[in-house]
Structure 1
Amino acid sequence: MTSTRGRIAALLGAVAVVAGTTLATPAVGATAGEDRPAPGSGLTGQAPCPELPDFTCGTLTVPLDHSGATPGTLNLAVAVAGNTKAPKGDLLFLTGGPGQPGVPLVKRIVSKLGPVLKDYRLVMFDQRGTGDNALQCPALQEQMGASDLTPPTPQAVTDCAAAIGPNRRYYGTAETVGDIDLLRRALGDHRLTLDGVSYGTFVAERYALAHPGHVARLVLDSVVPQQSYDPMDLAALPAAARVLRAACQATGCTTDPAVDLAETVRRYHNGPAVLDALTSYEFVDPNYGGIPEALHEAAAGHPEKLQGYIDGGHEGDAVPAWLLSQGLHASALCADGRYPWGTSDTPVESRPAALERTRQQLTAEQTWPFDADTATGLGSLLTCLNWPQEPVPPAPSEHRKLPNVPVLLLGGDRDLSTPLEWLHQEAAMARQAQVVIVPGAAHSVQTRAASDVGRQAVYDFLLK
C-alpha cells in the first residue's frame, strides 16, 4: 500500500522523540464524562521522551483480541505533546506501511505540522506489531525490505507466518481501530482529528466508519480507499503511463516513456521489477529523471541502465523491521485484503487456480503499459497467496459513507504508490470532501513534496 512502497528510510528522517507533560490530561475541547479514562485504563510509564521538549512518552496497554475470545495484551508506545490547552483538541497522526512506527517519527512530523500545533495537541503511537515491538520475519524482511512489490519466496512467507504463530490474525486494521479508540479514551477525548498518510489513511477511514461520533476532521494524504488496497494494482498499472508522460513533459524528454515501458515489459517480462523500481524512484525524484532514457534504451534492446535503477531501488528498500515490519505488513494486508481467490479464509491449495483464472481474464486495457503477468506477480499478492488460511475479521460495508465531517484528501499527481484514482474513489465516499492535487508531487505530500501547496492546504483546513 502501502502502500508505502519505496525508500521508507528516506521518509523517516531523523529518529527522535520528545519530552514533556502528562499524557492522560485531556486537551481543551475534550468532552468530560463517559469518554474520560476509567481508573487504570490510561497511559502508564509516563516519562519525558528523549531529545525534544514538550512531549511525554508512555504506554497504552491493549487487548491482543478486542473481542475478548483470546487472552493476552500488547503494550503500544505513545508520544503526546504537552500543550494540554490546545483549543482544537488532539490531532492523531497515523503513519503508513502497514508496518511503519509512529513514535520515532515525531520530530519529522512536528517539523511539517508546526503552524497548527499551537491549536492542536499532537499524538503519535506505534501501531501494534511495529517499532520496538515489530513482528520479526528475518527472511521476508531481507527479501522485501520496505517494498510491497518485490515477490518473496514461498518459504519466506510460510516461515514468517509460523514465526508469528496463530496470533497473526490479531494484527489487522480492525484491531488497530480498537486500539485507537482505547487511546482516545485514555487521552480523555470525545472526538479526535485524524491525519493519515498512505496506509494511515485506510486506518483513519476505518476508524471513522467504526466510530463516526468520535471523529472531528480527517486529513487523508496519499489515499488508500476504505475498500482496501488492490493487490493487483489495477489503478497504478495504467497510471504509470500518465505519470511518466507528465514527468517527461515537465523535463523536456523527447521519447514516449509509456510506449517504451510497454515494449520493455513485453521484451523482458520484468513488469513487477520495473513497477517496483518506479515506485521506489518517486521518493528520490518525482520527475523520474533518467527513467525515460533508461526505458527507451531497454525497449531498443539495451536494458543495462534500467537494470541499474532496478538494482538500486531494491538496495534502497533494505530497512530493518523496526522501521517497517514485513511481518506486520503481511499480517495486516492478508487479514484485510480481497484477492482473486477471495480472502484469507480461503484454503491455500485452491488459491493458485483462482489466480490463474484471473490472469487469463485480464485485458490489455486494464494493465497497459504493463501486462497481466505483472498484475498477478506483485509481492504483496504473492505473500498472501501463500499465507496460511485463517479467519477474517469483520469489515464495514464498502458502500457506507464516511461520517458527516470535513475531509481533506491530498495527493500528488506523480504518485504511483497510491495513485490519484484511489483518491477520487475515496472522495466519493465523503460528504464534505475537499480535494487538493499537488502538481509535481509524489507520495506523502505533507512530508515529501517540494511545494508547500499541500502543506498549506492542511494548515488552512485544520485551522478553520
Structure 2
Amino acid sequence: MTTRTPLTACAGLPALPTARCGTITVPLDRGDLGAGTTSVAFALVPRTDQSRPSLGTIVPNPGGPGTSTIDLSGELFTTALAPILDRRDLLLIDPRGTGRSDPLSCPALATSDIVFEGIEAQRQAIGECGRQLGARSRYYGTAAVADDFDTVREALGFDRLDLLGISYGTYLMPVYAQRHPSHVRSVVLSGAYAVNEDPSEAVAATALRRAVTLVCERSRACAGRTVLKDLGALATRLRRSPTSVTVGYRGHTRRVVLDEWALAGAVSKIYSVAADRDAQLGLAKAAAAASRGKLEPIREIVRAHLIEQAKAANAGPRAVSIPQSWATTCHDYLRSFDFADGFAARRRDYDKHVARLDPKDFAPFSPAAWVTRDSFDTGACLRWPDDATARPPFGPRAHLPNVPVLVLSGDLDANTPTPAGRAAARQFPHAEVIEVPGAGHTPAQTPQGAKLTMDFIVKAGLKTGR
C-alpha cells in the first residue's frame, strides 16, 4: 500500500498498536475558501496479512453526530470485524468537529448542568451555543463531512470503499455515496434512517409499542398491553401533576422535575440503545408499581437515565462534542419552521405542527412529550441562529449509486425502527433489508448482526471485484 500523505504511530491508542495516524487540512467551506480551514484526523489499521494484496478498505462511523470514531470506537470495530481484517484495511476517520478533528466546544454546553434542567432551558443553551460558535456553526453539515472523508480517501490512494454506517452513520454514508458514487463498493447501514424522512415521531412511537409487546411475549414475564396501559396512566398523571426525583452526581444532589417529558425520555432510551432485557423488564415492573402508587422504581429509572446523560455531556469534546452534534443536527435535519423567521414565528409554526399530531399515534405518551424527548427534541433548534445554508444534504429525488447495500434493523429498536430502515433502503436502486430478532438499536453490535455485516462485505467484494 502506497499512501500520498504522511502517517505516524498513533499517540494514545494502545489498543490499536498497528494503527498509523495522520491529519489533513480541509476548507471549512469548499465554496468559500476565505472561510478558513480545519483539520481532519484519521487512523489507518492495516490488514493483518501483509503477504497478500488488500481486498478492500472498510470505513465505519459509529453514529452521533458528535461522536469520536478513533478513540471511542476504534477498538470496537477492530474487534467486531476481526475475522475479515486479515485481508482488509480499516480506516477510522473523526468527522470534522469531533474527536481528534478540531473538536467544537462552546461555554453554553461545556458542563452537564443543563441535563438536569427543563426543555426550555436546554433549548436556550443550544441556541446560545450556536451564537457562541458564530459563523462556524454552519460548516458542520454532513455534506462537508462526506467531502472530508473523500479527501482522506484520495490522500491515502484508495479507490473504492466499503462503508459501514451505524445510527447517524447511516445518514452520513448515503450522503458520501450520493456525492462520491464512483468510490463506493458496498454499503452496510445498521440502525438506519433516510435523509429526507424523520423517524423520531409517530414511527418511533409505534415501534415502542411493538417492542414492549414483543419483549413481554418472548419473556412471558409481562403483558405488553398492561405495560403500555400502566405507562399511559403514569404519563397522564405526571402531565397533570408533576413530581420530582433527586439525583446525586459528582458530589451534588439535585431535585429534578419528574413530568411526562422526563418519563418519555427515560422510557424511550431503554428502547433506543442496544437491547437490554433486564432494563426492559425492569421498566415493566416499575410501570406496574406506579399503577399501585409506588413511584420509586420509576424514579430510579429516570435517575439512572439522567446520570448517563450527564456522563456523556462530561465525556469531553475529544470523545463527544455536543456542540458539533447540534451544529450538524440544526444544519441538516428536517424541521417544521424556517430559520429565516424570528423566534416567535418559528415557535408558532412549530406549535401548530405539534398540535396537528394525532394523539392515538403516540400512545402511551402525548405527542408533545414524545416529539420533544431528550436529543430527539424536534424543537431543539428553535433558537439556533439563522442559517440560509441549512437543509438536508440531498433532496428526495437524488440519485444514489447502484451498489450492494445491506440495511440491518432491530425489531426492538424504537430509535430507528424497521420502517425507517426500509425508507433508508429505498434511497438506493437495490438494497436488502434484514430485521434482526431481539436486537435493539444498531443490530450490527449483536453476534448475528456482526456476522451478517461481515458476510455481506465479503460477498460484495466477490461480486464487484477489487
Give the TM-score band, short-chain normalised: 0.7 to 0.9
Match of 1:60 among 24, 48, 60: 24
What secondary structure is seen at the aligned counterpart in 2 of 1:235?
A: helix
Residues 237 and 367 of structure 1 are in contact (CA less than 8 Å); yes or no, is this contact kept in structure 2? yes
State the match for 1:326 in structure 2: 322
Residues 286 and 440 of structure 1 are in contact (CA less than 8 Å); yes or no, is this contact kept in structure 2? no
Residues 217 and 407 of structure 1 are in contact (CA less than 8 Å); yes or no, is this contact kept in structure 2? yes
CA distance in 2, matches of 1:152, 1:324: 21
State the match for 2:210 in structure 1: 242
CA distance in 1, matches of 2:119, 2:32: 36
The offset of 1:89, in angstroms, is 1.9
Residues 166 and 189 of structure 2 are in contact (CA less than 8 Å); yes or no, is this contact kept in structure 1? yes
CA distance in 1, matches of 2:114, 2:58: 30
For residue 219 of structure 2, what is the amino acid of its counterpart? T
1:325-377 C-alpha deviation (Å, 9 max, x unpaired): 110111000000121214x4443331110111112211123322221211443
Match of 1:383 among 366, 380, 385: 380
Seen in structure 2, the aligned counterparts of structure 1 residues 241 and 271 have a Cα distance that, compared at 3 Å, is farther
Mapping for residues 173-192 of structure 1, pairs under 5 Å: 173-192=142-161
Match of 2:305 among 292, 305, 313: 313
CA distance in 2, matches of 1:311, 1:382: 24
Count residues in correspondence: 420
What secondary structure is seen at the aligned counterpart in 1 of 2:58?
A: strand
Residues 267 and 299 of structure 1 are in contact (CA less than 8 Å); yes or no, is this contact kept in structure 2? no
CA distance in 2, matches of 1:351, 1:378: 19
Mapping for residues 335-374 of structure 1, pairs under 5 Å: 335-342=331-338, 344-374=339-369
The percent of aligned pairs where both chains have the same amino acid is 28
Seen in structure 2, the aligned counterparts of structure 1 residues 371 and 81 have a Cα distance that, compared at 3 Å, is same
1:307-336 C-alpha deviation (Å, 9 max, x unpaired): 210111110122223322110111000000
1:389-412 C-alpha deviation (Å, 9 max, x unpaired): 112246322133531111011121
Residues 146 and 326 of structure 1 are in contact (CA less than 8 Å); yes or no, is this contact kept in structure 2? no
CA distance in 1, matches of 2:27, 2:89: 26
State the match for 2:442 in structure 1: 444
Match of 1:211 among 180, 192, 207: 180
1:216-253 C-alpha deviation (Å, 9 max, x unpaired): 100001102122545x5221122111111111222222
Match of 1:123 among 72, 82, 91: 91
State the match for 1:6 in structure 2: none
Mapping for residues 69-84 of structure 1, pairs under 5 Å: 69-83=33-47
Residues 94 and 200 of structure 1 are in contact (CA less than 8 Å); yes or no, is this contact kept in structure 2? yes
Alignment partner of 1:458 is 2:464: no
Structure 2: stretches of 5+ with no match in the other structure: 240-258, 460-466
Mapping for residues 33-432 of structure 1, pairs under 5 Å: 42-44=4-6, 46-49=8-11, 50-51=13-14, 52-83=16-47, 86-104=53-71, 105-132=73-100, 133-140=102-109, 142-143=111-112, 152-227=121-196, 229-230=198-199, 233-255=201-223, 256-269=226-239, 270-282=259-271, 283=273, 285-287=275-277, 288-317=280-309, 318-319=311-312, 320=315, 321-342=317-338, 344-379=339-374, 380-393=377-390, 395-432=393-430
State the match for 1:5 in structure 2: none
1:247-266 C-alpha deviation (Å, 9 max, x unpaired): 12222223422222222222
What secondary structure is seen at the aligned counterpart in 2 of 1:260?
A: helix
Seen in structure 2, the aligned counterparts of structure 1 residues 144 and 411 have a Cα distance that, compared at 3 Å, is farther
CA distance in 1, matches of 2:113, 2:452: 34
State the match for 1:9 in structure 2: none
Seen in structure 2, the aligned counterparts of structure 1 residues 298 and 142 have a Cα distance that, compared at 3 Å, is farther
The offset of 1:97, in angstroms, is 0.6
Residues 7 and 20 of structure 2 are in contact (CA less than 8 Å); yes or no, is this contact kept in structure 1? no
Residues 143 and 150 of structure 1 are in contact (CA less than 8 Å); yes or no, is this contact kept in structure 2? no
For residue 377 of structure 1, what is the amino acid of its counterpart? T
For residue 122 of structure 1, what is the amino acid of its counterpart? L
Per the normalisation by structure 2, the TM-score is 0.83
Residues 44 and 60 of structure 1 are in contact (CA less than 8 Å); yes or no, is this contact kept in structure 2? no
CA distance in 2, matches of 1:185, 1:126: 16
Residues 330 and 390 of structure 2 are in contact (CA less than 8 Å); yes or no, is this contact kept in structure 1? no
What secondary structure is seen at the aligned counterpart in 2 of 1:274?
A: helix
State the match for 2:463 in structure 1: none
CA distance in 1, matches of 2:148, 2:58: 16
Residues 152 and 382 of structure 1 are in contact (CA less than 8 Å); yes or no, is this contact kept in structure 2? no
What secondary structure is seen at the aligned counterpart in 2 of 1:316?
A: helix
CA distance in 1, matches of 2:121, 2:92: 31
Seen in structure 2, the aligned counterparts of structure 1 residues 383 and 274 have a Cα distance that, compared at 3 Å, is same
Seen in structure 2, the aligned counterparts of structure 1 residues 364 and 300 have a Cα distance that, compared at 3 Å, is farther
The offset of 1:179, in angstroms, is 0.5
State the match for 1:14 in structure 2: none
What secondary structure is seen at the aligned counterpart in 1 of 2:387?
A: coil
The offset of 1:86, in angstroms, is 4.8
Residues 275 and 412 of structure 2 are in contact (CA less than 8 Å); yes or no, is this contact kept in structure 1? no
